[in-house]
Amino acid sequence: MGKYIPPEQMTVEQIRASIDERFRAWNQIAQHGCSDPGWPDGVNMNLVRNHILPQLGSVKAGQMTTAVVEAFVQDKLSGGNLRGEALSGKTVKDILTLLKEICRYASYWDVEFPCHFELIRLKNCDSQIHILERQEQRKLEKFLMSDESLTKTGVLLSLYMGLRLGEVCALKKENIINKEELLRVRFTMQRIQDVKMSGGRKTKIIVTEPKSSCSRRDIPIPFFLQERLKTLEKSPENAYVLTGTADKFIEPRTMENIFKRYLRECRMNEINYHALRHTFATRCIEEGFDIKSLSEILGHANVNITLNRYVHSSMEQKRKHMDRLCVSP
């Protein structure tokens, strides 16, 4: 790939070549999706293919009004993923950012969109994530500790070490450094579309390094989890933590369904698996963790992500603060 040239500095021939190149790339993506985990924009390309193109691909530029885009956003928030479930606030923000960039890029060729993106405000969707109250957490913990099931161990790793779902699924015994009492996060597992399959509609599971270098991290293992992980002693070094074997893994979708089953068995309300990570971050702040250390444990690029997305005030904390307002001795 050659050196990037801003559109306003391109010659006519360069503009033509750029349009041809992008047309070929987008035509390929529209048909098959992007399954190259090494391509930094791969995830964004799939967001465009799976969400923007199906609903807005046939909308003419002059009809792309603020109302149309707002309706699109609300649809994604209420049931916009491939299974008809609501997308996370972060994903919808990413989709909206991509749509805005597409419109901005088109404006270089005098293609105008009447949408005023600055008027579209996403509600704080992250506040909808249910953070376990301490009583709920104790109830779940008691259930998870009732036996030595490896999938229950996986849930505990998210609840007490803040691991992402894909990171738990990709975790192997060799990533557990017993001598240093550390867990090394080096890989993540995800399901992507397989372009080699007919129509590009089939998917496959891949294990790759995290998207950002800060997601590659070492996390101290709590004492009770060190004891728990000793159940893997007889497993080979390349065994997956969730299965104890090297030739069998549990993919994220299956693990999420297992977690939902655990919640039903506990007679608890259904929550997203990612809520475990949010609960971990919130408990850490309540226990006095410094925000820099917590940000590094979570694998965030900066502390603002930790504060703005992952730290929530529980009802228990709110009551404690309100009780302090009493002026009588």
pLDDT tens profile 223-251 = 999 999 999 999 999 999 999 999 999 99
Residue 47 and residue 98 in contact, taking contact as beta carbons nearer than 8 Å: yes
Claim to verify: residue 113 and residue 216 sit in the same structural domain: no
pLDDT, one tens digit for every residue, the chain (329 residues): 456 566 556 666 766 676 666 666 666 655 665 554 444 455 677 777 778 888 888 888 888 898 888 888 888 887 666 555 667 777 888 888 888 888 888 887 787 888 888 888 776 554 467 889 999 999 999 999 999 999 999 999 999 999 999 999 999 999 999 889 999 999 999 877 665 554 444 677 889 888 678 899 999 999 999 999 999 999 999 999 999 999 999 999 899 999 999 999 999 999 989 999 999 999 998 888 999 999 999 998 888 878 777 776 666 666 666 666 655 55
Rounded-to-integer distance, Cα 19 and Cα 206, Å: 32
Claim to verify: residue 27 and residue 174 sit in the same structural domain: no
Rounded-to-integer distance, Cα 150 and Cα 154, Å: 6
Claim to verify: residue 280 and residue 308 sit in the same structural domain: yes
For residue 140, give every residue at least 6 positions away whose Cβ sits within 8 Å of its Cβ, in sequence order, or none. 132, 155, 159, 262, 263, 266, 268
> Could you tell me if residue 217 is inside a domain?
yes
Nearest-10 crossing angle of helices 291-298, 275-286:
160
Residue 235 and residue 245 in contact, taking contact as beta carbons nearer than 8 Å: yes
Where is the domain boundary, 128, 151, 169?
A: 128
Claim to verify: residue 44 and residue 161 sit in the same structural domain: no
CATH code of 161's domain:
1.10.443.10
Maximum Cα–Cα distance for the chain, whole Å? Answer: 81
Where is the domain boundary, 128, 162, 182?
A: 128
Rounded-to-integer distance, Cα 233 and Cα 167, Å: 21
Claim to verify: residue 115 and residue 198 sit in the same structural domain: no
> Could you tell me if residue 265 is inside a domain?
yes
Claim to verify: residue 82 and residue 223 sit in the same structural domain: no
Claim to verify: residue 31 and residue 177 sit in the same structural domain: no
> Could you tell me if residue 28 is inside a domain?
yes
Claim to verify: residue 54 and residue 154 sit in the same structural domain: no
> Could you tell me if residue 326 is inside a domain?
no
Claim to verify: residue 87 and residue 147 sit in the same structural domain: no
Structural domain tally of the chain?
Answer: 2
Claim to verify: residue 190 and residue 155 sit in the same structural domain: yes
CB neighbourhood size of 250 (10 A): 19
- Residue span of the structural domain in which 174 resides: 134-317
Rounded-to-integer distance, Cα 201 and Cα 203, Å: 7
